[in-house]
Amino acid sequence: MNDTAAHAPSGTGDLAPGQQEESPKDFAAGLRSYLIGLALAVGLTIASFWAVQTHLIYGPGVSVALITLGIAQMGIHLVFFLHITTGPDNTNNALALAFGVLIVFLVVVGSLYIMSNMNHMSVPMNEAMHMQP
């Protein structure tokens, strides 16, 4: 029998480092957290459809409302479903999230830069037509 198996609680199998045996009270708190997250996510989804279909929001402001609701939706998912918080035990999760956001930002900015300069760098159509045999 190895050292880690000797310290594992009986009947639960192996536990990950830092993981503790859950009690029924912990399960109820976790379930309540998931249900709150689900209710908020569904509410934000309904609010997004409402924002598109209503005439109460100024036309150009609808896209800003959708972006805001989308960012709020991502926050709900990160906190309630992925459990990414700023606590001391979640430092690696927060750093991984920050790195992922940086990569997505670089891809989006790079794509926009390439698309905005595509016409400037490409051969004009009338010259391209003369190049063909």
What's the domain count of the chain? Answer: 2
What SS3 class is residue 71?
helix
Q: Tell me: do 105 and 65 sit in the same domain.
A: no
21 vs 49, which has greater pLDDT?
A: 49
pLDDT of 17 reads 65
Q: Tell me: do 34 and 56 sit in the same domain.
A: yes
pLDDT of 100 reads 86
Q: Tell me: do 78 and 94 sit in the same domain.
A: no
pLDDT of 130 reads 76
pLDDT, tens digit (0-9, with 9 covering 90-100), for 18-40 = 666 777 788 888 889 899 999 99
pLDDT of 13 reads 59
| Tokens found for residue 54 | 């209503």
pLDDT, tens digit (0-9, with 9 covering 90-100), for 77-127 = 988 888 887 777 777 877 888 898 899 999 999 999 988 888 777 777 777
The pTM (predicted TM-score) of the whole model is 0.58
pLDDT of 16 reads 62
CB 80 within 8 A of CB 37: yes
Q: Is residue 10 part of a domain?
A: no
CB 79 within 8 A of CB 36: no
Could you tell me the residue range of the domain that residue 108 belongs to? 86-118
Q: Tell me: do 27 and 73 sit in the same domain.
A: yes
Q: Tell me: do 37 and 67 sit in the same domain.
A: yes
Cα Rg of the chain, angstroms: 25
